[in-house]
Amino acid sequence: MSAHPVTPSAGPYPRYSVVGPVYNEATGLPEFYERTRAVLDSLGEPWELILVNDCSRDKSLEVMRRLAEADPRVKVIDFARNFGHQIAVTAGMDFARGDALVIIDTDLQDPPETIRALVEKWREGYEVVYAVRKTRPGETWFKLMTAKLFYRVIYRITDVDIPLDTGDFRLMDRRVVDAVTRMREHNRFIRGLTSWVGFRQTGVLYDRDARKYGSTNYPLRKMMKLAWDAVTGFSFFPLRLAIYAAGILFVLSVLAIPIVALLRLATGVQYLEGQATAVTIILLVASFQFLFFFVMGQYLARIYDEVRGRPLYIVADTFGFPGASGGQPGHRAVSAPPDSEAVASSPH
Ligand code: UDP
Ligand code: MG
């Protein structure tokens, strides 16, 4: 049984869209294209490969243009500046027209051959098929530890079941793509958004490869930002922490007064004496207060981001999309709302 009919909609839409964000991947891109093409060709249905140049500083754009010129199924979105991995993926999703969409890193850490297993599950009827990392060679001890901790904390404190040890490498059905692209929140955690929409979801195990060329573009700063986007986007737990801290400090302070007094009466020794104690306690409590200022600030900044209502990204140029305008999001009416970036990115 196939839950997804072969020709579900009119129009020359490809069956599969593969979206790959690109930031300084010039050396690896030809191999990425070759391996992805081989896999997609073997599926026997029309496909498109959408590469989003997140303002690379190397020759990535040149390589992408060459690929697009040689193969009309390759399409390129060129950002006006670096907007980050999650936004690059979002742009690719806006422009994609396939019945199934695959998000994949272009640094060959997500082996393109795994797409076959994702598609198999989709053909069985699942709307979201995420790739779960069985092994992760070539990562630092620090990255492995922080990633493990991150996924488990997110799992515990968020209201949606975001699967463990799963990156953005996944396949989504058109209905899921439409639902996710309709959510225009700025600080995006795409893994969370795809879990949040529901539908039938499943995972397939894969061995993540070490990075073959170049080095990671996710320094600690960007990982922290992603972690906060995940937490603030899907949980209010950090805000609730303040009440626990308040409760504990209150109980301690209520207990401290009689205890200190009784000890003084019983032993004659003055406990909690002097400036040192007072200074320590003040610093401790002040540090808690600033911590919660920070937590509130994280939520507040994100509210401000939404209120400004800026577009998620600005497109400088596109190559390989049909139509005189060079291609705009919303080839399928529902995939991009009329007030989306199409306006901001239209040719000047
Ligand atoms: N990437 C991007 N914009 C950025 C940083 C990364 O589009 O600002 C892309 C990058 O080209 C790669 C993917 O996002 O295809 C994952 O990045 P990276 O491999 O650096 O992260 P890691 O795998 O080390 O977590
Ligand atoms: Mg990588």
Q: What is the pLDDT of residue 3?
A: 54
Work out which ligand 1 atom sits closest to the CA atom of 24: 11
Collapsing DSSP states into helix, strand and coil, what is residue 35?
helix
| Pocket lining: 226 vs ligand 1, CB cutoff 6 Å | no
| Smallest-distance ligand from the CA of 168 | 1
Q: How far is the CA of 75 from the centre of ligand 1 (A)?
A: 19
Q: What are phi and psi of 73, to 5 degrees?
A: -85, -10
- Nearest atom within ligand 1 for CA of residue 23: 11
Cβ–ligand 1 contact at 217 (below 6 Å): yes
User: 141 falls in which pLDDT band (50, 70, 90)?
Assistant: confident
Mean per-residue pLDDT for 98-112?
95
Residues 196-228 pLDDT 10s: 999 999 999 988 888 888 888 888 888 888 889
User: What is the reported pTM?
Assistant: 0.83
Query: Tokens 């009784």, residue?
Result: 262
Q: What is the pLDDT of residue 1?
A: 43
d(CA 208, ligand 2 centre) in Å: 9
CA of 128 to the centre of ligand 2 (A): 22
* Ligand 1 atom closest to Cα of residue 84: 8
CATH topology of domain 16-235+311-319: Spore Coat Polysaccharide Biosynthesis Protein SpsA; Chain A (3.90.550)
Q: What angle do CA 222, 182, 89 make, to 5 degrees?
A: 35
Compute the distance from residue 196 Cα to the ligand 1 centre, in Å: 23
* Residues 6 or more apart whose Cβ sits within 8 Å of residue 88: 21, 22, 23, 52, 54, 79, 313
- pLDDT, tens digit, 9 for 90 and up, residues 94-104: 999 999 999 99
pLDDT-based confidence at residue 322 (cuts at 50, 70, 90) = confident
pLDDT of residue 86: 96
Residue 10's pLDDT band (cuts 50, 70, 90): very low
Which H or E run contains 16? strand 16-22
23 lines ligand 1 (CB under 6 A): yes
